[in-house]
Amino acid sequence: MDFEKKNNIYKTIMIIIVTALVTFLITAVVMDNYYFKTENGLTKRLLTTETNNIDTKIQLIREYLDNSYLGEITDEEKLSEYAVKGYVAGLGDEYTEYLTKEEYEELMVDVNGNYVGIGIYMTQDRYNNILVLLPIKGSPAEEAGIKTGDIITKVDGEDCASMDDLSLVANKVKGEEGTTVNLEILRGNEVLNKTIERKTVEINPIESEILENNIGYIQILSFDEGCSQKFENKLDELLQKNIKSLIIDLRDNGGGLVTEAVSISDLFIPKDKTIMIEIDKEKEEETKAKTDAKVQDNFNITILANENSASASEIFIGALKANGIAKVVGTKTFGKGVMQEIVPVSSGGALKLTIEEFRMPNGDVINKKGIEPDVLVEDNEETEVDEQLQKAIELLVNIQ
């Protein structure tokens, strides 16, 4: 009897275990179908899955798109590009971004100094207005009467307010050579419409002349590739004409290549003196002048700067100001004291990444602070007189 009783208990236990196992398997299959294959299940996974793994997050979203998105997913590459773009944007660094193949190609065109378009430098002000910094000399924009300070409100009828990125507006303005673009311009209280033909524009970043009292004048519009050699050529021409002093105009110069700014600084700063201090993730080091200066110590230089003088411009301004080589006239500079590295990737795009901070030779911080002028002069937009230039001339005349 004891054996039979024990045998019955054993059978009962086994039945319970088998029943539990079968129930578990059935539940697992049902939950798999619900949790992984139904819309409600996918929603629950999206809401409850906790992970910092980007691949897992994208996979969950992709599964939901496959099951629920009404349209068709036709461009896998575009989805991937925007996923990477958003991932990098999550750093919260305004100067670090992932560039698509098209954006990278456009950047390289701008840096190399030639592109097809209408020939304007643009920026986005604090109110998100698309502001014309400068029409390039001899460009279709200049010929059409576009002026510094104009606000572009529409491109081919599309409101710029609906485009929250300056690059989107720039892409609309650019296009194939021979085609036209219509711009709606706000100039003061006046609304203008300009239809402009796109052409290949050669950017000449260096302009020079001799002003009154034998003062040399050189304007650098941007630190594009090769501009240091062009600058040196212009400087040599002016020195051969025995100029007494020099004005270097960096107003509305938003920067460019750091190497070009350093090369131009090297023309004025004595050998082995500091041009800038560079700080990266691992070290801090000084960039020194490598050659003897082209001008003598008693040669007076004034730099014109404003709130749009940024980045590479601030390297040059900071180098000459801190070394006591030039006085700065105008308004405080923009305050972009960091530099980026462009890293091409296999997709054809590129990663533009902030890798270093640069400071003035005396250690003064530039980033988000800017460089204060030695002589503060505001430009009066209501007059045709260039008050800042006139002040620079006045200062140099008084020194001569």
**Closest residue by Cα to residue 96 from 105, 104, 85, 107:** 85
Q: Are residues 285 and 185 in the same domain?
A: no
Assess whether 183 and 217 both reside in one domain.
no
Per-residue buried b or exposed e for 115-142, using 16+ beta carbons within 10 Å of the residue's own CB: bbbbbbbbbbeeeeebbbbbbbeebbbb
pLDDT at 117: 87
254 occurs within a structural domain: yes
Residue 92 falls inside a structural domain? no
Domain range holding 133? 114-202
160 and 291 in a single domain? The answer is: no
Co-location of 137 and 254 in the same domain: no
- Strand pairing report for 284-288 and 274-279: antiparallel
Give the single-character DSSP code of 256: B
* Domain final residue, candidates 49, 75, 101: 75
Backbone φ and ψ for 300, nearest 5 degrees, come out as -90, 135
Structure token pair of residue 365: 């911080």
User: Do the domain assignments include residue 170?
Assistant: yes
In this predicted structure, the answer to whether residue 111 has a pLDDT above a threshold of 70 is: no
Contact 130, 121 (CB under 8 A): no
Over residues 184-203, the pLDDT tens digits come to 999 999 999 999 999 988 77
Q: What is the pLDDT of residues 156-169, one digit of tens each?
A: 999 988 876 777 88
Q: 182 with 168, same domain?
A: yes
Residue 247 lies in a domain: yes
Pairing of strands 130-135, 120-124: antiparallel
- Terminal CA-CA length for the chain: 126
In a domain, 155, yes or no: yes
pLDDT at 50: 61
Task: Give the Cα separation of 397 and 278 in Å (integer).
Answer: 36
Do residues 219 and 197 both lie within one domain? no
CATH code (residue 173): 2.30.42.10
196 and 210 fall within a common domain:
no
Domain stops at, among 75, 99, 132 = 75
Task: Mean pLDDT check: name the lowest of 15-29, 183-197, 201-215, 218-232.
Answer: 15-29
Residue 249 confidence (pLDDT) above 70: yes
Residue 332 has pLDDT above 90, yes or no: yes
Residue 242 has pLDDT above 60, yes or no: yes
In a domain? residue 332: yes
Among candidate residues 187, 202, 217, the one where a domain is terminated: 202
In a domain, 48, yes or no: yes
Interatomic CA distance for residues 257 and 339, integer angstroms? 9
Percent of the chain's residues with pLDDT above 70: 84
- Do 295 and 320 have their domain in common? yes
d(CA 33, CA 38): 7
Are the beta carbons of 218 and 249 closer than 8 angstroms? yes
Mean pLDDT, the chain, whole residue set: 86
Looking at the structure, tell me whether residues 366 and 239 fall in a common domain: yes
Which among 255, 258, 263, 253 is positioned nearest to 233, based on CA atoms?
Answer: 263
Looking at per-residue confidence, does 175 or 269 come out higher? 269
Which residue type occupies 244? K
Do 182 and 278 lie in one domain? The reply is no
CA–CA dist 243, 246 (Å, integer): 7
Pairing of β 375-376 and β 326-330: parallel
Within the chain, strands assigned E span 97-99, 114-117, 120-124, 130-135, 151-155, 158-159, 180-187, 190-197, 199-202, 206-211, 215-220, 245-249, 274-279, 284-288, 300-305, 326-330, 338-344, 350-359, 375-376
- Which residue do the tokens 């200049």 mark? 142
pLDDT computed for residue 167 by the predictor: 76
User: Which pLDDT value is given to residue 40?
Assistant: 55
Domain count, the chain: 3
Residue carrying structure tokens 């990098």: 88
String of b and e for 370-386 (b: at least 16 CB within 10 Å)? Answer: bbebeeebebeeeeeeb
Regarding whether 216 and 192 lie in a shared domain, the answer is no
The angle at the Cα of 67, spanning 66 to 70, to the nearest 5 degrees, equals: 80
| Alpha carbons 394 and 388: distance in angstroms, whole number | 10
Contact 43, 64 (CB under 8 A): yes
Q: Which residue has the tokens 């003088």?
A: 309
CA atoms of 350 and 98, how far apart (whole Å):
6
Question: Which of 203, 237, 27, 244 lies closest to 120, judged by CA?
Answer: 203
Across residues 70-90, what is the average pLDDT? 89
pTM attached to this predicted model: 0.73
Angstrom distance (rounded) from CA 129 to CA 161: 8
- Looking at residue 213, the DSSP 8-state letter turns out to be G
Same domain, residue pair 393 and 245: yes
| 237, part of any domain | yes
Q: Would you tell me how many other CB atoms lie within 10 Å of the CB of residue 31? A: 11
- 368: domain CATH number is 3.90.226.10
